[in-house]
Chain A
Amino acid sequence: MAASVHKLVRKDGKKAQNILAPLWFLLPALIMVAIFIYYPVLATANMSFKNYKLFDQSNIFYNGFENFRGIFKDLAFRRILQNTVLWVTVSLFFQFFIGFGLALYLKSKFKFSGLYQGIIFIPWALSGFLMGLVWKWIFDDNLGVLNDLMLKLGLIETPIPWLSNANWAMAAVIIANIWYGVTFFVIMILAALQGVPNEILEAAELDGCGKAKSLFLVIIPFIRPTLILIILLRIIWITNFPDIIFGMTSGGPNQQTHILSSWLVQKITYDQDWGSGSALGLMMLGVLFVFTIFYLLATRLEKESEGN
């Protein structure tokens, strides 16, 4: 590479200058990324091999893989891992399908559709933690509006222990997360749908495609790249989204509603165990990185096989 650049400079100095110019423009961004992304990642990696508890800062030392071992040995780890899988899959499933449905609905013009779109987008503009606090009061066992409504409608006879029972609490945080994330899919899918040319849809209609056939044979294949990307992004974001859980349950009762990212926040803020928190963060980074590669490879292979 260096040799070829050198060659270019010798042959045509002007051309080489043109090649280097974009690098100069990129340099400020690269420096920022290096400072704010790569340096913290490296610092986290370094800290993950240390006994680094803020409670006792006089006792900081390298402890090998002890923090990683501690995470696997923690009795809560298995449940937290299960919770993370449940949190991501259930949230993603409902967010995607509700979001898709709403996007299809919003694409058609109707009275006050602009206003309706605006209302639907509101959750995305709000703080996740704040929304967690709001949902906490909605789901409150004694005072919550949800239990009150269900009691008045005769759907239940005694209040549901939404936040005091581990399983109900997990359901409650997932419901809140579904509500919060639907908007993202609506925004992204609506934008993608608006990019589908009317000519193609008209041609499909002329060829005798009904609405369902058009959706599956024309629209979805057309917006497929967008769908792949937004699902990937959403999986990463949902995994790394502890805000609602912290607002609603702080991971309780008995750490039963923690997911990996909320557990990480607890380790850093409440437990003040930065070593263990860093180890967990590093593990999550690794898992998500490997997942992303497999996901992209799988979707590419699928596309290639379809092409063949």
Chain B
Amino acid sequence: MIKQLATRKSIATVTVVALAISVLTMGTSSAADATWNCTPTKAKPVTVRLIEFFAGPARTPLLNAYARQFEAKNPNVKVEIISPSQADSAAKITQLLQAKNVDIVEPAGAIMGQAMSAKQLANIYPYFSKTKGWAGLTDYSKFQAELYGKNTTYMVPNGYYVKAAFVRPAPIAAGAPDVLAKIKKGTATWADILAAKSSNTATSSMYAMRGARASFTQAIFIIRAYNAPDLNSGGYWNKSTKTSMFNSAKSKDALDLMMKIWKEASPAASVAWGYPEMVQGFVDGTANYLIQDNEVIQIVDEKYAPFDSGKWFMAQMPKGPTGYAAQDVSGGGWSVAQSSKCKNIATNFLDFITTDPQHSSFARAYGVGPVTKTAASDPFFKTGAWAIYDKIGKDPKELKLDGSDVAQVCYGEFFTQADKDMQAMYAGSLSTTDALKQWATFWDTKCINPVK
């Protein structure tokens, strides 16, 4: 008996001591986390590895220049920029995060959700919120930075991608002048885009459809336009029915219309078009109406004609039957990897590139919407081709969605499946009804319903 009591006593003592140690360790873990307290020395230099998602000639040289400037200001720090081709970047970023061999990543598209679910990204808010970079962000950028919760930052925005229409007026004026007038006014609907097939010629078509990777995004534009304003802030759920928007009868009308636009108003070759082919199709005149992000302005300006030439103009996206359109105004951005051995240095570099004039130059050169207050007030982003974004910003009937649904873990799987379904619809082996049924089931069963 005494022996039993003694054993119990010793077990209890060990448990209490273990608990005390773990509580003490928990309490001090963040403060004593060596990865937030790196001090680079000559003997122990620090290398910060950053991988881009959207590497390209307009931004990669600039990032490398910033890396050299940062190194000059921070002795014993080396910044290594990894710039894979955009076709490979998703896989490369995922691999580097898995291998724990990277400090800063640009988790675009579906990577953000998957990296968050795997706890591969660090919350940099406690450190970053005290920097000049944080102080300089616009309110919306701060909102985006805290998308995963107040006082948490898993991604610092580096630019906004807003969709608008690139329009070649001459061919549309020849075949569909009424539609051109509506496009100019910003009142054109998706049905008008189909009606403008009358401007098709033997060598050019009205609409630059996307048939290759990310083709389902085209369907999302039109489905949202038909469902708006009955959408949640992330843009995948109907507020009225509290289920995914793919269940609604309006979505069926929208998708049927899109398939008509594809068959009747788009080049046949666009079934194989991805991002570069769509842009090239607009530049060479194969298609006269292109919906793309702001960074395309620079490409069209250089490859086709300067904006001032009047050969092309910018317009708002087409609207649905109720006069609404909706799109994600969420940006790309940078995240610090949880596995980074020197998070303070990595965050310092993010601070450096997020402050102006660095960010302002980056946004101008790459053609993305600015994230800082000073860059946002730059007249460059309010004139010429960029003036359309001011108009979009002020239009209450063009809903600005926050990207919270796209950031869900389920989005990656949806992305790949919906792309395959789009191809099957183009090929005629899947009906719009069946596709919508699958998408609705997917969102209703595999994703988190924020409106329930």
Contact = CB atoms under 8 A, between A and B. Distances in A.
A229 B409 CA distance: 49
Contacts of B427: 166, 253-254, 256
Nearest to B205: A142
- Chief secondary structure at chain B's binding surface: helix
Interface stretch (B70-78, B218-226, B305-313, B412-420): B412-420
B114 A252 contact: no
B203 A272 contact: no
- Pick the most buried of B117, B118, B269, B423: most chain A CB atoms within 10 A of its CB: B269
A250 B213 contact: yes
Contact of B268 (A53, A58, A161, A271): A161
A165 to B, nearest CB: 8
A54 interface: yes
A164 interface: yes
Contacts of B410: 55
Interface in A243-299: 246, 249-250, 252-256, 268-272
Contacts of A250: 212-213, 274
B272 A143 contact: no
B426 interface: yes
Given A166-B427, A253-B426, A272 B271 contact: no
Interface stretch (B18-26, B87-95, B355-363): B87-95
A225 to B, nearest CB: 40
B412 A143 contact: no
Given A54-B114, A56-B117, A57-B114, A252 B88 contact: no
Interface string B86-128: 0110110010001000000000001001100110000000000
Given A55-B413, A249-B272, A143 B213 contact: no
Interface in B421-449: 423-424, 426-427, 429
Given A55-B113, A55-B409, A166-B427, A270 B213 contact: yes
A142 B286 contact: yes
A142 B267 contact: yes
Contacts of B284: 142-143
Contacts of B416: 270-272
A2 to B, nearest CB: 41
A237 to B, nearest CB: 22
A141 interface: yes
B269 A140 contact: yes
Given A253-B211, A254-B427, A255-B420, A142 B281 contact: yes
Interface string A32-60: 00000000000000000000011111100
Nearest to B422: A254
B110 A163 contact: no
A161 B286 CA distance: 14
B5 to A, nearest CB: 44
B412 to A, nearest CB: 3
B413 A56 contact: yes
Interface string B249-287: 000000000000000000111111010000011001010
Interface in B395-418: 409-410, 412-413, 416
Interface residues of B, number: 37
User: Which of A54, A140, A163 has the most chain B CB within a 10 Å cutoff?
Assistant: A54
Given A142-B203, A253-B427, A161 B269 contact: yes
Nearest to B414: A55
Given A142-B281, A163-B272, A269 B90 contact: yes
Given A142-B203, A272-B412, A164 B423 contact: no
Nearest to B429: A254
Interface string A149-163: 000000000000101
A223 to B, nearest CB: 40
A50 to B, nearest CB: 14
Contact of A272 (B94, B211, B272, B429): B94
A164 B269 CA distance: 5
Interface of B: 87-88, 90-91, 94, 98, 110, 113-114, 117-118, 203, 211-213, 267-272, 274, 280-281, 284, 286, 409-410, 412-413, 416, 420, 423-424, 426-427, 429
17 contacts: A54-B98, A54-B412, A55-B110, A55-B114, A141-B267, A141-B268, A142-B284, A142-B286, A163-B269, A163-B272, A164-B272, A246-B87, A249-B272, A252-B423, A253-B211, A253-B427, A254-B427
Given A142-B269, A143-B284, A164-B270, 20 more contacts: A55-B413, A56-B409, A57-B114, A58-B118, A141-B268, A141-B269, A142-B203, A142-B284, A161-B269, A166-B427, A252-B211, A252-B423, A253-B427, A254-B423, A254-B426, A256-B427, A269-B91, A270-B90, A270-B416, A272-B90
Interface of A: 53-58, 140-143, 161, 163-164, 166, 169, 246, 249-250, 252-256, 268-272
